[in-house]
Amino acid sequence: MKILTVLTYYRPHTSGLTIYAERLAEAFARRGHQVTVLTSHFDKSTPAEEVCNGVRIVRAPVMFRVSKGVIMPTFGWLAWKYVAGHDVVQMHLPQFDAPGFAMRARLMGKLAVLTYHCDLLLPKGLLNRVVNTVVDFQNHMAALLANHIVTYTQDYADHSPFLSRYADKLTPILPPVVLPTPPDGAVEAFAREHKVAERRPVIGMATRFASEKGVEILLAALPAILEKYPNAQVLFAGQHENVMGEQAYFERLAPTIRKYEASGNWTFLGVLNPAQMAAYYPNLDVLVVPSLNSTEAFGLVQIEAMMNGTPSIASSLPGVRRPAQMTGMGKIVPIGDSAALAEAILDVLAEPEKYRRDPQEIARPYDPDSVAVAYEELFAKLGKK
């Protein structure tokens, strides 16, 4: 089967959406499909076209950016070319260009399948309100034109104003989650580098530094945690500088974070590759996902942490709360409640054995090849209609 994957950003941009798309595309390729990813050439240091792990990546030139989006003048022409040469067009939403691809797919008799990752809620501001409205309209047009929509969980679908309108063409498929086995000694080397033995407990947060991620909720929870554990440290893994559209947010929180950096209670690790993440999770006592709105639909890092024996505490957002609910390996707290987050962290630290589970059992349904099989079965079903 020839599968065209379309999304605005792909690697080296790092987000839950790009990681999902990469894992699924590479799983399709391993299973013998011809896979092309069509995306933006937002990073000029990357080639315009390359093959990576069996996946052909084509990057369209970017003229300029609008908020977190990009304008690509040749994308429409590339859409005709690549849709014509593939059997399935899989689009990752939210995405401004999705309706054009879905329309072309339907006109050419190809399957058009959307993977809906989350609702788009940009930071405040007139321009962002306009962008939000336009992308929301484009998403609805894409949903009307597409054959089918995939989402992570029924929980998220039931509470999403967008997805609840398309219940008749919706299938939940759990996201692909995988991490490599860390090299010998990597976990111990990580512990030495970050003085884990001296500065416990270790609280992890693995995400981009973005307003919807709730970094300020963790910051507000820290005083109560440090009162009991003065040597506790937060290890923040992920991009924290020059995050598109988030500079003002970072600058607002920076003075508080610098205070904790100076005392050794907060460390920015930067973007870690998969092998480094595999050494990171076992060194955590707990991972936190204090996200604030429906731009977070699941939190793939929760499963990554659980696969490495680390419990997760998440806000009670639809979808985001499902990993802890399904596994029992964590706690759920009210959205935006720093006091509840602090209490939950202290509870988990006090009774870690209560949140232990079999990592292999947790990992099984998220294996990328298993997720690819679920998509293949959906494609086959849709092809018979």
Q: Tell me the pLDDT tens digit for each residue of 2-42.
A: 999 999 999 888 777 898 999 999 999 999 999 999 999 99
Say what the pLDDT of residue 129 is. Answer: 79
Q: Which of 81, 41, 95, 78 is nearest to 63 (CA)?
A: 41
What token pair was written down for 346? 């202290």
Q: Rounded to two decimals, what is the model's pTM? A: 0.84
Positions in the chain short of pLDDT 50: none
* Rg value, the chain, Cα: 21
Alpha-helical regions (H) of 31-185: 75-84, 98-107, 126-145, 154-159
Q: Determine the Cα–Cα distance for residues 127 and 331; give it in Å rounded to an integer.
A: 37
Say what the pLDDT of residue 322 is. Answer: 95
Q: Determine the Cα–Cα distance for residues 344 and 350; give it in Å rounded to an integer.
A: 10
Burial degree of 361 (CB within 10 A; 0-12, 13-18, 19+): exposed
3-state secondary structure of 150: strand
Q: What is the DSSP string of 268-283?
A: EEEPPPHHHHHHHGGG
User: At residue 206, what is the residue type?
Assistant: A
Say what the pLDDT of residue 161 is. Answer: 87
Query: Which residues is 56 bridged to in the sheet?
Result: 36, 51
CB neighbour list of residue 325: distance below 8 Å, 6 or more residues apart: 332
Say what the pLDDT of residue 123 is. Answer: 64
- The full set of domains in the chain, from first to last, is 2-176+367-383 (3.40.50.2000), 186-365 (3.40.50.2000)
